[in-house]
Amino acid sequence: MLGPDEAVIRVVLPPSGASIPMVSMRNLLEAQAALRKVALRTPLLPMKEVGLPGDVWLKCENLQRAGAFKLRGAYNRIRALSPAQKAKGVVAHSSGNHAQGVALASKLLGIRATIVTLNKAIPTKVEGTRRFGAEVIFGGEASEDIRLHAVALAEENEWALIPPFNDPLIVAGQGTVGLEILDELPQTRVVVVPIGGGGLCAGVCLAIKETNPDMRVIGVEPEQSCAMSRSIQAGEIVAVPASDTIADGLKPTRVGDVTFDIVRRYVDEIVLVSDEEILEATRHLILREKLVVEPSGAATVAAIRSGKVALSEEGPTVAILSGGNVELSSVLPS
């Protein structure tokens, strides 16, 4: 766990001449068109809390189909498969939200889906995945375990592997969240995004910075699982130990080259929050804002409520609530 002096990590952008990101604004616009009748245009709601020193809005991806933003990237990736690949089926590895996104996208496209998940996956997320018709296989204790299991199944059965974040089409799909923020609240000055493997942050960074470079994008990671910030500090992708953070959707042990390249290029700052701060924000959102949000989705609000994100005096701050698939008994007082 990081000490208090490491709570905020400043990001140094790569020098001019660095490699061009593998995802473009054109990819995001194509994804937006493909998702128009598939993904919900989720609401952007003002935060009800009185007393914050700034104007805060909530981008409610917890209200997305399948309960999280993941449908956007999963559908955008699966729709692009060849007819032969679609006929054989897909496989994915996920702690829960990507699993449900892949399962729903596959159901909508009429494709067989198999999901490899953690042995201790949140029951609500497992049930949701099965409800959309996917087969669920428990494949290990850590994200790398289930990744290797899924890779082996893909090779054995000739299934298309749908990665949770490290894919240009996945990133492009997630970036449509940023496009919606720009369209509905163009005066936004700061966008706060949770970071797991970095797919959502990379897509949102690209949408925001390519449209308005003066907007700030701040990423949020759990103190116990901060693969992106550690990698940016090191200047290369590094693995971190598996963790038991309450934010189960934000604990991959390593990020990908696609997401790392985009995030280090565009993100302005990465903030680390504790499990205690995440739990407090989750309870606040459920009990005070009347929004059912899982801990991973509440990490952005945790960063704001803890004072680790400085709210802009020049315009609104938008916090992305990435998901709402929560086991309520695990976060609410008994």
The set of catalytic residues is 70, 322
Which of 267, 271, 193 minimizes the C-alpha distance to 12?
Answer: 267
Residues sharing a CB contact under 8 Å with residue 20, sequence separation 6 or more, in sequence order = none
Task: State which H helix or E strand residue 216 sits in.
Answer: strand 216-222
What are the distances in angstroms from CA 211 to CA 24, 82, 97, 232, 314? 12, 32, 28, 24, 18
Q: In what order do the strands lie in the sheet with 113-117?
A: 135-138, 113-117, 90-93, 160-161
d(CA 303, CA 193): 10
DSSP-H helix ranges across 57-212: 70-78, 83-88, 97-109, 123-131, 143-157, 168-184, 199-211
d(CA 203, CA 179): 9
148 within 8 A of 158, measured Cβ to Cβ = no
91 within 8 A of 161, measured Cβ to Cβ = yes
**β-strand partners of 324:** none
What are the distances in angstroms from CA 72 to CA 61, 96, 126, 285? 10, 15, 19, 23
